Amino acid sequence: MSATETPAAAAPRREPAHGWRIFAIWLILALAADLVIWFVWKPHLPPGDMSTSAQHQQFDIAVLAVTGAPVLIAVILYFIYAMVVWRARPGDDSDGVPIYGNTKVQATWIIGTSAIVLFLAVFGTIELVGPAGAGAGEGPSPIWTLAGKQSSTWTPGTNTMLQVQVIGQQWVWTYRYPQFGGMESSELMLPVGTPVTFHVTSLDVIHEFWAYQLGVKADANPGVDNVAYTMPKTMGSVTVRCNELCGIWHGAMFNYGKVVTQSAFESWATGVQSQEQSDGVLAALPPYALTYDPTVVPQLGKNIVTIDGITGAAGYYYGPGNPVTP
């Protein structure tokens, strides 16, 4: 027997309650982290809180972070605790105690992880479909809809849904307002505090409508009417990007929008409508429909760009001199 080996006769050192110690440290750290996430970090999480759909996404991300932080802290804390407390002391060459399983640890692990996964599955499902699809496109006839009255006209101060058709084409976005004579704009204007229904479609290839600050992302597919909802809560600027690789100028396929007061929106919309009416643009546009077949949409000629400043594209809709004829 060498001199450094521990004699078997030495009284065993009483082990402190490591489990309770780790649990106490974990509880304090996890609670602190969750409070910081919820009250300090959440207001800055993307995509902000400009609309109901954006608010829901911010809430979802915060809930995931609040759920994940205690798990991360538990793993790292155990790792550090083990390295500090259970490390081999200098001169200690003995083996650890043989372990054949621990019912308490196993049960805690299975119950804990099952509870977290089941909670996230239920929470995720509810959040995905509950708040009107969280702003995502749900196809032409969503099961869960946003509250609001459907009407062929829109006036301020009512709970009427504003209908906005979003038309993607290589490589520009156009917004069509059926409640204002089907007038079109290259700027997405929305009234604050109004439920909005987007009808998203495309004239050529697959695009994706992504109004970042509104938390709305919906596929724009040719021949498909993809419905998405939102309710703008605060005024400000919106950036709209295409989020589906759609050709060589995909990266340049963006434009801007604004959320304004209801009365400002109404005067803007009626103004554009009467302007396009007197210019003859409204008469030249195809009748409002939920989808358009680009091969039968009449060509508007190159004049439309100069008439109303609508950004023309190389696509079918506004395309000057496009070879496709009705």
Tokens of 186: 């290259």
Which of 135, 207, 269, 299 lies at the binding interface for Cu ion (CB under 5 A)?
A: 207
Comparing CB distances to Cu ion, the nearer of 56 and 207 is 207
Of the candidate spans 20-28, 187-195, 204-212, 227-235, the one that interacts with Cu ion by CB under 5 A turns out to be 204-212
Determine the length of the chain. 326
How many Cα atoms are found within 13 Å in the side-chain-facing hemisphere of 12? 4
First to last CA, the chain: 100
Ramachandran region, residue 164 (left: φ > 0; alpha: ψ -120 to 50; beta: rest): beta
Of the candidate spans 8-16, 87-95, 243-251, 262-270, the one that interacts with Cu ion by CB under 5 A turns out to be 243-251
Task: Give strand ranges (E) for the chain.
Answer: 162-169, 172-177, 183-185, 188-191, 196-202, 207-211, 216-220, 226-230, 236-242, 254-260
Q: Which residue in the block uniquely carries the two structure tokens 């759609």?
A: 246
Smallest distance, Cu ion to C-beta of residue 244, A: 6
Say whether residue 313 binds Cu ion (CB under 5 A): no
Comparing CB distances to Cu ion, the nearer of 275 and 291 is 291
- Letters for 275-294 (x = contact with Cu ion by CB under 5 A, - = none) are --------------------
Indicate the DSSP class of residue 250: G
- Letters for 125-154 (x = contact with Cu ion by CB under 5 A, - = none) are ------------------------------
d(CA 25, CA 30): 9
Smallest distance, Cu ion to C-beta of residue 258, A: 21
d(CA 180, CA 313): 23
Say whether residue 203 binds Cu ion (CB under 5 A): no
Smallest distance, Cu ion to C-beta of residue 173, A: 8
Comparing CB distances to Cu ion, the nearer of 228 and 242 is 242
Comparing CB distances to Cu ion, the nearer of 253 and 285 is 253
Does 98 sit behind a cis peptide bond, omega within 30 degrees of 0 on the bond before it?
no
Computed on alpha carbons and rounded to an integer, the radius of gyration of the chain in Å comes to 30
Look up residue 170 and give its amino acid. Answer: Q
d(CA 138, CA 47): 20
Smallest distance, Cu ion to C-beta of residue 315, A: 10
Of the candidate spans 66-74, 149-157, 242-250, 309-317, the one that interacts with Cu ion by CB under 5 A turns out to be 242-250
CB neighbours of residue 261 within 10 Å: 13
Smallest distance, Cu ion to C-beta of residue 168, A: 6
Smallest distance, Cu ion to C-beta of residue 202, A: 8
Say whether residue 246 binds Cu ion (CB under 5 A): yes
If we measure between CA atoms, which residue out of 38, 10, 29, 141 comes closest to residue 74? 29
Comparing CB distances to Cu ion, the nearer of 175 and 265 is 175
Say whether residue 242 binds Cu ion (CB under 5 A): yes
Say whether residue 253 binds Cu ion (CB under 5 A): yes
Q: Which residues bind Cu ion (CB under 5 A)?
A: 207, 242, 246, 253
